[in-house]
A and B are shown apart, each in its own frame.
Chain A
């Protein structure tokens, strides 16, 4: 955690560079899809945003469990910081998915199981962030949000498996599917997708480091305020 906070410049530059390469590969170098045409290029934004959102919620889970176990506020800072990024990335997944759905499916939105469970995912963690602003005392806030952070994670496997469990309009996964390592994807598209997945992961780690720095500063600020209240 301390390492990613300190390596801000390295991570930021790597993220920026690999995003630029990813953009070139996704928009220029990779071929269009035979059925969808160029609309398929939205995949290179849609998949990395939800992948990093899953990663964020996994870190919320890890931070929540470790806080309840160790009672160290640094784990609560990890959970709260990751949740903010997760909500941003889920909102982007929904927005970009909607822009992709219009030309390909013909509608901006439909209450299909995958879309519904993803909307629920957004609401759960947006509620989690609201809960964090409600509580006054940092210890009780950490405990309450840890419980929500653990329960909320149940929706992630439901979102991912929804297209395999129920009839849906959304297609089945291309990469994380039962026949792993045999993705029905053109090799050049696969390269473009993995470069973008890498770029977004580095970007996520960079932003998380900055957000953790902010959480640490805010905690110190509150401690100083308490101290001052005691002295005066």
Chain B
């Protein structure tokens, strides 16, 4: 293999891995945001249900 071949492998390795990591990270952020939002919504829903039942609820509202 020529010197340029090794250079091509090295640069592709670095840029490819960094790009793949950045894309994967963006997806992980989007997923975590969706899950947190959905959980928060269902939590608010349940807390309202508990309140209507007249049960004492000392849980502070979710941030």
Contacts and interface: CB of A to CB of B under 8 A. Distances in A.
Touch between chains A and B, by CB atoms below 8 Å: yes
Interface of A: 19, 23, 27, 36-39, 41-42, 45-46, 49, 88, 91-92, 95-96, 99-100, 102-103, 203, 207, 210-211, 213-214, 217-218, 220-221, 223-225, 227-228, 230-232
A88 B21 contact: yes
Given A102-B6, A217-B33, A227-B59, 4 more contacts: A99-B10, A214-B32, A217-B29, A231-B43
Given A228-B39, A228-B42, A45 B14 contact: yes
Interface of B: 1, 3-4, 6-7, 9-11, 13-15, 17-18, 21-22, 25-26, 28-29, 32-33, 35-36, 39-40, 42-43, 46-47, 50, 57, 59, 62-63
A231 B59 CA distance: 7
A41 B35 contact: no
A214 B1 CA distance: 41
Interface of B is mostly: helix
B39 A99 contact: no
A218 B39 CA distance: 12
A127 to B, nearest CB: 20
Contact of B7 (A38, A91, A213): A38
B10 A221 contact: no
B6 A39 contact: yes
B10 to A, nearest CB: 4
A178 to B, nearest CB: 28
Contact of B32 (A38, A39, A217): A217
Contact of A210 (B9, B25, B42): B25
Contacts of B62: 224, 227
A92 B13 contact: yes
Contacts of A36: 3
Contact of B17 (A88, A214, A220): A88
A96 B13 contact: yes
Given A210-B26, A214-B28, A221 B14 contact: no
Contacts of A41: 7
Contact of B3 (A103, A203, A210): A103
The list of the 6 closest CB pairs from A to B, nearest first, reads: A217-B32, A38-B3, A39-B3, A221-B36, A224-B39, A42-B10
B29 A214 contact: yes
Q: Which of B7, B28, B40, B50 has the most CB of A within 10 A?
A: B7
